[in-house]
């Protein structure tokens, strides 16, 4: 009579240990257990890295964000929706300390701007700065 591998104490112990792991790590272990395709190992590694990054991010203190209040005046009369949305975004960036001034004195700027035009006679350039995303 053939012994059932799923009825062994080792099998039961192993899967009890696995049941205590977070789901991504359980999935990674299951992928490695079956290893039917070469990419299962890579997928298991990805699951582990994602789990580690998720745990790292959860451990960081949450940022406190300030929202808009009735005292925050944003003009909306006569402007289109896109301009209004940009005004709201600018106000929120200002209140939350996310607005950064562009460097315009000729030294490198944090946004790595592009030169859109350089006058061949004077050498003056028109530089297009990027907004943070």
* Tens digit of each residue's pLDDT (9 = 90 or more) over 33-81: 777 776 777 788 888 888 888 888 888 777 677 888 888 888 778 888 8
Do 83 and 128 lie in a common domain?
Answer: no
**Euclidean distance between the first and the last CA atom of the chain, given in angstroms as a whole number:** 66
By CB neighbour count within 10 A (0-12 exposed, 13-18 middle, 19+ buried), where does 99 fall? Answer: middle
Q: Which domain holds residue 130?
A: 103-133
Model confidence, pTM:
0.37
- Percent of the chain exceeding pLDDT 70 equals 83
Do 10 and 53 lie in a common domain?
Answer: yes
Do 55 and 11 lie in a common domain?
Answer: yes
Number of domains the chain contains? 3
| Residue 133 confidence (pLDDT) above 60 | no
CA nearest to 96, candidates 57, 130, 71, 64: 64
Split at pLDDT 50, 70, 90, the class of 1 is low
Do 30 and 68 lie in a common domain?
Answer: no
């Amino acid at each position: 009579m053939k012994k059932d591998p799923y009825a062994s104490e080792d099998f039961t112990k192993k899967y009890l240990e696995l049941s205590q792991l977070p789901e991504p790590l359980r999935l990674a272990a299951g992928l490695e257990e079956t290893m039917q395709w070469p990419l299962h190992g890579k997928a298991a590694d990805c699951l582990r890295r994602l789990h580690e990054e998720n745990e790292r991010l959860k451990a960081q203190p949450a940022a406190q964000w300030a929202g808009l209040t009735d005292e925050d005046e944003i003009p909306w009369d006569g402007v289109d929706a896109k301009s209004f949305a940009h005004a709201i975004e600018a106000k929120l960036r200002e209140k939350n300390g996310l607005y950064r001034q562009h460097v315009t004195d000729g030294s490198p700027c944090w946004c790595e701007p592009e030169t859109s035009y350089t006058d061949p006679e004077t050498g003056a350039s028109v530089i297009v700065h990027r907004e943070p995303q």
